[in-house]
Structure 1
């Protein structure tokens, strides 16, 4: 079971998470737990690291005092006796360690990616001993591990490290498997691991889901349950489309398509690990444990008359177009373009090239654009091949996903008609060879209108 930050942010949520674990343990189930940082702790750690790099020691001290008070307060109302004392000691020791790191950052006025990962790791590391203490206060045996201590081994891509899966599964089985098999409840800090030199790494946003899948695979679990604050994966973001409903069942492929295109609830790499081992995933609501939820398995459930399952919206996107008549018959330009994107570790969300080969358009997250575009201009402009590089930052991506779309004629026509009726102009379109999704770029202001139009056209409020 993995409990996200939204589940652990409040007293009610933390106690409910412990109650869920206790209930299944007392029924005789073997349970392992992965915990995220409490609430917005990760964001606050990131801000503190940046401010420390700017030399703001006063803010760092205030942050550390607030962080310690928050976690000690949790110890006070969630645990009792010796369990509480040990949790408080662990929290205080980690806050002291974090203070040394942040003051070191302030001293040299720099935070390298490796140091940043180390700072961010404290969110999950602080959660784990508190959750362990809460379980022990209920009379349950528990042991806590950092991701590193549990045996999660990654490459050295700090900030978005990739697990070395086979080595990780072997290590986790050896280190966590024994107490787990004996009925002790392991509590593992999500989101973090370590490279082969022992340096702490982070798995990227949503990385606790990946930790849970790795743990489930290593321990031969029957299922992995991902607890959050919503009733599973929805047909659309309910903030955009109020009639959105829970999707009861998804295939691994459908889930990966949806999570890649912004659906909330699960990390795509977590799905990949589960798919490789046929490990079922369930996305459930901590605050409504018996309510609707989503099951993710190998099989794709396709209902007659319902071709699509969900429509997703990715905000904060930029569309970059590299153009010039000389691009035709010049594959070396595309090679150089991809090389630049690789060097900047920029993920391409969508890409399209017209049959004239006169331009290449691609969508990326807006975050790296300020650094990426000047580099593209420096490396690609100035010759006879690339004549212009245009950037649009007021766009978003809309994606329609569903296994029923595969081999079904007329899907694209319905998409175009539905959005055209709402006066939405499509800037770029792409469909993967899997035929599980159709994605397109529109103006940011038109994104919600497109989502509503497709949700209505494909009856997604009825199909779940």
Structure 2
């Protein structure tokens, strides 16, 4: 068995879905399970419709877009009438109370995947590949109550295995990514772009041969190809490298995708729907050594920085514990941190949470907030063994006229991270790619 996940751009329209059909049909002997995202643009339309409803305005954009897709695919006109009716009622209810809770937003957002799998399964079946749509919660995927970032409950795997064992062997299961249900039957989501995570969780639960992530790029690249024209494919990489890249902004994988695969030791293969013959990137526990000091460059923009300065932390045991207790209470997800005897600098993408924490941290020191920053990360398994690589990286960035405001590099770390201005992303990434990869 293999698990094949297709993202929004891969199922954006009839032309793309025809490619998906061909790819899945060619893998029929490997017992494929298809995990699908919403059609491109539908999730954004759903979120915008929910926000508009909370402001008292009812819009039909997501339903209109989905109807257009149904017409392209020549699906029965009434195929999604149940979904359309449920969504319309939900938006009307939100407009009446003028309140959009995380629970309601998850409910609205879930319709993208629920509608796409039904349309895709219908198209597959009418074009020679027997398929059936499944909401993943009907296959054992029951989650906690963390709306917007839910995770499956312990022991869910046994129910999942039993549910899949009952499915007809001659049908391809087309399963909703991104969504779940809690024990009370309320719809949850695992986080934006979370269909990758759904796929890897299913792959681990079902002991799949591999998990395939089908995207619109030739696997994982040495840099963002929209920034660097010469970005190239990485044939193989280790789990830990890919996990660092995903966390620090690589657009190819959801940050949590690799954790289930790592624990189950199942390879993850990243492939291009538009070029299915390309080998893409295989991510696994052990990878062939790379000739480069680095594997890839990633960046995570729109970061906020909090600087706390106080002489009270000088030689005072437990001071950092107090700081992080405040950050934890405000649910601040810290991405990067640097400390001295009298100051702490840290970054987070959650500006509102950081600003809330700043008010309380101001009682123990002077607090300064800065915004519009980017974490720039150079990732590679050989970094700890290459003398002078840090100096080369910083020299190249400085040569491009980019100021580095923070640095983080742990003992034996496989990532070297820097903080720069958002406006400097293009210059910094290009010069680093030239220095690290152009000569190879």
Normalising by structure 1, we get a TM-score of: 0.90
Question: Aligned pair 1:5/2:8, yes or no?
Answer: yes
Say whether the 8 Å CA contact 2:117–2:174 is kept in structure 1.
Answer: yes
Q: Deviations over 1:224-281 (max 9, x none)?
A: 1111111111100112111100111010000001111111211232211001111011
Distance between the aligned counterparts of 1:442 and 1:139, measured in 2?
Answer: 52
Alignment of 1:87-102 (within 5 A): 88-102=77-91
Aligned to 2:334: 348
Question: Aligned pair 1:313/2:314, yes or no?
Answer: no
Q: Deviation at 1:44?
A: 1.0
Name the SS of the counterpart of 2:256 in structure 1: helix
Distance between the aligned counterparts of 2:62 and 2:376, measured in 1?
Answer: 40
Distance between the aligned counterparts of 1:372 and 1:318, measured in 2?
Answer: 8
RMSD of the alignment, in Å? 1.8
Distance 1:360 1:114, change over 3 A: same
Q: Deviation at 1:342?
A: 2.8
Question: Aligned pair 1:453/2:431, yes or no?
Answer: yes
Q: Deviation at 1:457?
A: 1.6
Alignment of 1:67-146 (within 5 A): 67-76=65-74, 84-85=75-76, 88-146=77-135
Say whether the 8 Å CA contact 1:250–1:294 is kept in structure 2.
Answer: yes
Normalising by structure 2, we get a TM-score of: 0.94
Q: Deviations over 1:381-425 (max 9, x none)?
A: 24xx31x21111122111000111133322212112211222222
Aligned to 1:390: 368
Aligned to 2:325: 339
Aligned to 1:33: 34
Distance between the aligned counterparts of 2:115 and 2:348, measured in 1?
Answer: 34
Distance between the aligned counterparts of 1:223 and 1:434, measured in 2?
Answer: 29
Q: Deviation at 1:107?
A: 0.5
Say whether the 8 Å CA contact 1:68–1:95 is kept in structure 2.
Answer: no
Question: Aligned pair 1:168/2:168, yes or no?
Answer: no
Say whether the 8 Å CA contact 2:326–2:361 is kept in structure 1.
Answer: no
Distance 1:169 1:462, change over 3 A: farther
Q: Deviations over 1:407-444 (max 9, x none)?
A: 33222121122112222221001123451100010122
Aligned to 1:201: 188
Which of these residues, 346, 353, 359, is aligned with residue 362 of structure 1?
346
Say whether the 8 Å CA contact 2:348–2:354 is kept in structure 1.
Answer: no
Distance 1:442 1:38, change over 3 A: same
Say whether the 8 Å CA contact 2:207–2:264 is kept in structure 1.
Answer: no
Mark the runs of 5 or more structure 1 residues left unpaired by the alignment: 77-83
Aligned to 2:22: 19
Q: Deviation at 1:72?
A: 2.7
Aligned to 1:240: 227
Distance 1:338 1:89, change over 3 A: farther
Distance 1:343 1:105, change over 3 A: farther
Aligned to 2:165: 177
Say whether the 8 Å CA contact 2:140–2:160 is kept in structure 1.
Answer: yes
Name the SS of the counterpart of 1:240 in structure 2: coil
Mark the runs of 5 or more structure 2 residues left unpaired by the alignment: none
Distance between the aligned counterparts of 1:457 and 1:331, measured in 2?
Answer: 42
Q: Deviations over 1:107-141 (max 9, x none)?
A: 10101111110110000000011111112112332
Name the SS of the counterpart of 2:180 in structure 1: strand
Q: Deviation at 1:462?
A: 5.9
Q: Deviation at 1:458?
A: 1.4
Say whether the 8 Å CA contact 2:332–2:353 is kept in structure 1.
Answer: no
Say whether the 8 Å CA contact 2:14–2:73 is kept in structure 1.
Answer: no
Say whether the 8 Å CA contact 2:358–2:367 is kept in structure 1.
Answer: yes
Distance 1:407 1:52, change over 3 A: same
Distance between the aligned counterparts of 1:105 and 1:29, measured in 2?
Answer: 44
Aligned to 2:360: 379
Aligned to 1:157: 146
Q: Structure 1 or 2: larger helix share?
A: 1
Name the SS of the counterpart of 2:385 in structure 1: coil
Distance between the aligned counterparts of 1:267 and 1:232, measured in 2?
Answer: 14
* Greater Cα offset, 93-102 or 438-447: 438-447
Distance between the aligned counterparts of 2:146 and 2:318, measured in 1?
Answer: 27
* Greater Cα offset, 428-437 or 63-72: 63-72
Q: Deviations over 1:162-209 (max 9, x none)?
A: 233x523222211123326x2321110100112222221111122100
Distance 1:147 1:462, change over 3 A: farther
Query: Paired residues, what number?
Result: 437
